[in-house]
């Protein structure tokens, strides 16, 4: 189908045809894609016999296994969508897990508590595709007053902060603001939109990859859990002053780049403070014992 318009807004996802045509036709177009060594497969925990959730529904469930993980998110119909994030290749990986027996053995070893809740595990594993996890960065996101990229077409990120769709909506808000600010100059509006969003999309891309490591590896560690508790205690003690990174990213409209910067500042203040307090306690103990 052919159609003519004043401008094209490319909202055609991570493998955008609009972006591809910019890549092919524009001389100065930066493009970078990087794939994780992990793929993902969706599996299901159906509702229980009474139609209700078979696990706590007010939670994101994580089975952290250091180099890989499974997560489960509740759906309104009583089911959970589980996603296994696992290496594509390696001694234990999607590639080497082929038969029903391989799948059964792997799940019994790694997720024995989940297996009884997944009656369709073998069919799901066989029938559901193994997806890849890509981060795409490109620049610029516009060409003259003719084309602008929005959402995954401009900045696909890996899904570990659960922010890809939100970032796409934020693009829409900012693009809308820019078009309203420069009603007679669409190229300027596109340029402003790109300038305001690019560093935030880049920051989100980094945060999303970091959160994968946090979810699959660190959530099992005591130190990490202690840090999370401290985060919540400080948030309660200093409302509006101390905001954990996750809170800023997920529950506020603080731009991603600013949230990441603020979290780094907060961390350095907290850790310097804790180190000082520990040093004072040790010095006092030595003083009184000596």
Comparison of 12 and 145: residue with beta carbon closer to ligand FAD: 12
Site residues (CB under 6 A) for ligand FAD, limited to 25-44: 40
**What's the distance, CA 127 to chain centroid?**
25
Residues written for the chain = 290
Site residues (CB under 6 A) for ligand FAD, limited to 50-109: 83
Least distance to ligand FAD, CB of residue 131, Å: 6
| Cis status of the peptide bond prior to 140, with omega within 30 of 0 | yes
Count of CB atoms situated within 10 Å of the CB of 107: 20
Comparison of 140 and 151: residue with beta carbon closer to ligand FAD: 151
User: How many residues line the site for ligand FAD (CB under 6 A)?
Assistant: 17
235 vs 157, 215, 229, 238, 260, CA distance in Å? 28, 21, 10, 5, 16
For residues 92 and 68, the answer to whether their CB atoms sit within 8 Å is no
Site residues (CB under 6 A) for ligand FAD, limited to 149-188: 151-153, 159, 162-166, 168
Least distance to ligand FAD, CB of residue 176, Å: 15
The token duo for 238 is 């200093």
Of 85, 70, 251, 71, which is closest to residue 166 (Cα–Cα)?
A: 251
Of 154, 175, 190, which is closest to residue 32 (Cα–Cα)?
A: 154
Candidates 13, 46, 47, 78: give the one binding ligand FAD (CB under 6 A): 13
Q: Counting beta carbons within 10 angstroms of the beta carbon of residue 112, is it exposed (0 to 12), middle (13 to 18) or buried (19 or more)?
A: exposed
Site mask, ligand FAD, residues 116-155, x = CB under 6 A? ---------------x-------------------xxx--
Comparison of 38 and 242: residue with beta carbon closer to ligand FAD: 38
Comparison of 17 and 120: residue with beta carbon closer to ligand FAD: 17
Comparison of 84 and 266: residue with beta carbon closer to ligand FAD: 84
Comparison of 242 and 255: residue with beta carbon closer to ligand FAD: 255
Residues lying near ligand FAD in the complex (CB under 6 A) are found at 11-13, 17, 40, 83, 131, 151-153, 159, 162-166, 168
């Amino acid at each position: 189908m052919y159609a003519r318009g004043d401008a094209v807004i490319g909202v055609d996802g991570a493998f955008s045809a609009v972006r591809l045509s910019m890549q092919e036709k524009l001389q100065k177009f930066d493009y970078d894609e990087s794939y994780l060594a992990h793929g993902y497969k969706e599996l299901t925990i159906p509702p229980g016999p009474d139609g209700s959730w078979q696990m706590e529904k007010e939670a994101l469930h994580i089975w952290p296994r250091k180099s890989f993980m499974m997560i489960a998110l509740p759906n309104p119909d009583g089911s959970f969508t589980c996603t296994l994030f696992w290496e594509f290749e390696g001694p234990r990986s999607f590639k080497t897990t082929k038969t029903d027996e391989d799948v059964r053995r792997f799940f019994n070893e790694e997720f024995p508590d989940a297996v009884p809740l997944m009656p369709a595990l073998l069919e799901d594993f066989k029938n559901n595709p193994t997806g890849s996890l890509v981060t795409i960065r490109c620049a610029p996101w516009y060409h003259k007053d003719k084309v602008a990229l929005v959402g995954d077409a401009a900045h696909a990120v890996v899904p570990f902060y659960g922010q890809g769709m939100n970032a796409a909506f934020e693009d829409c808000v900012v693009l809308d603001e820019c078009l309203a600010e420069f009603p007679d100059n669409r190229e300027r509006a596109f340029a402003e939109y790109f300038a305001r969003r690019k560093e935030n999309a880049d920051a989100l891309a980094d945060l999303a990859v970091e959160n994968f490591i946090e979810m699959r590896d660190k959530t099992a560690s005591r130190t990490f859990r202690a840090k999370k508790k401290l985060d919540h205690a400080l948030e309660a003690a200093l409302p509006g002053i101390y905001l954990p990174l996750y809170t800023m990213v997920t529950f506020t409209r603080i731009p991603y780049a600013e949230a990441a910067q603020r979290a780094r500042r907060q961390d350095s203040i907290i850790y310097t403070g804790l180190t000082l307090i520990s040093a004072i306690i040790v010095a006092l103990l030595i003083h009184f014992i000596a």
